[in-house]
Structure 1
């Protein structure tokens, strides 16, 4: 797969963690479990931009783009329509999948609350955000169930337990 990942990380995102490898693995797993696995076989390069930042920046973006003046764990800004995702055969210009923005403090707090490793939760949020870039949402029960099942399968590819089972206990 020709996945070009651009990562911009604030200093509080420990650079020794190997974020590029984690982001790549999580994004590739999400693509493999999506309705668009052909993206992995395309000769066209696919670009994903990831911003690892803090609550303040995410809160500002969330207020600006979603009208919600509060931080959240991950924001997704897709740049392709579903028809563009389906039609990736042959050569052509790089496909700009979109942008993901993660908030460190929110991600850390949620991982602590769930009693799971921070890296596993970050991987889950990258999978979740990538699925949003691939036109999935959770606006109703049916779409939420479909998205959740794809997340669980993608995380299993990464050796990460189903995060939704822990919530049900």
Structure 2
């Protein structure tokens, strides 16, 4: 399993927030844990770290929610008959991650890991609209994060 990550750092905030953005090696480690759990070979995806304005604009345009959000997933759909190991794009809002991590009493790095895992599972077709889908997706996230030494992100704080 090997994740190929196209990293885009578009966030222009304060230096502490920029410093919180995980290095490529961490993102690859987290992604490889997802690929291992899903028994997938080499897959490619883009991660774009953004501020609140870009996140809010995309969230409004694609989900009809006029507020920034932690992670947005945009699956790649290849034309019929074309096989390519490209999963799609993740857009992660740095200020939202930092704020949520603080509110949830976890490190920003653990929250970034959770959002990478969560977003990749969306790119692989998992969803959490229905209760049974949410339970299955959360169980998968918890199991993957535990292999990385990261506590259950859904446990009561």
TM-score by length of 2: 0.87
Partner Cα separation in structure 1 for residue 154 and residue 53 of structure 2: 27
Query: RMSD of the TM alignment (CA)?
Result: 2.1
Q: Secondary structure at the match of 1:6?
A: strand
Q: Aligned ranges for residues 149-160 of structure 1 at < 5 Å? A: 149-160=139-150
Provide the aligned length of Structure 1 versus Structure 2: 151
Q: Aligned ranges for residues 1-169 of structure 1 at < 5 Å? A: 1-9=1-9, 10-12=11-13, 14=18, 18-34=22-38, 37=39, 39-40=40-41, 45-80=42-77, 94-165=84-155, 167=156, 169=157
Is there any run of 5+ residues in structure 1 with no aligned partner, and where? 85-91
Q: Secondary structure at the match of 1:14?
A: helix
Is there any run of 5+ residues in structure 2 with no aligned partner, and where? none
Residues 108-145 of structure 1: per-residue CA shift (max 9 Å, x gap): 11000011000000100000000000100001110000
Partner Cα separation in structure 1 for residue 52 and residue 32 of structure 2: 26
Q: Secondary structure at the match of 2:150?
A: coil
Cα pair 2:76 2:88 within 8 Å, conserved: yes
Q: Secondary structure at the match of 2:30?
A: helix
Q: Secondary structure at the match of 1:23?
A: helix
- 1:89 is matched with none
Partner Cα separation in structure 2 for residue 80 and residue 161 of structure 1: 33
Higher normalized contact order (CA 8 Å, seq sep 6+, divided by chain length): 1
Q: Secondary structure at the match of 1:164?
A: coil
TM-score by length of 1: 0.81
* Larger helix percent: 1
Partner Cα separation in structure 2 for residue 73 and residue 122 of structure 1: 9
Give the direction of change, closer, same or farther, for the CA distance of 1:93–1:133 in structure 2 (3 Å limit).
same
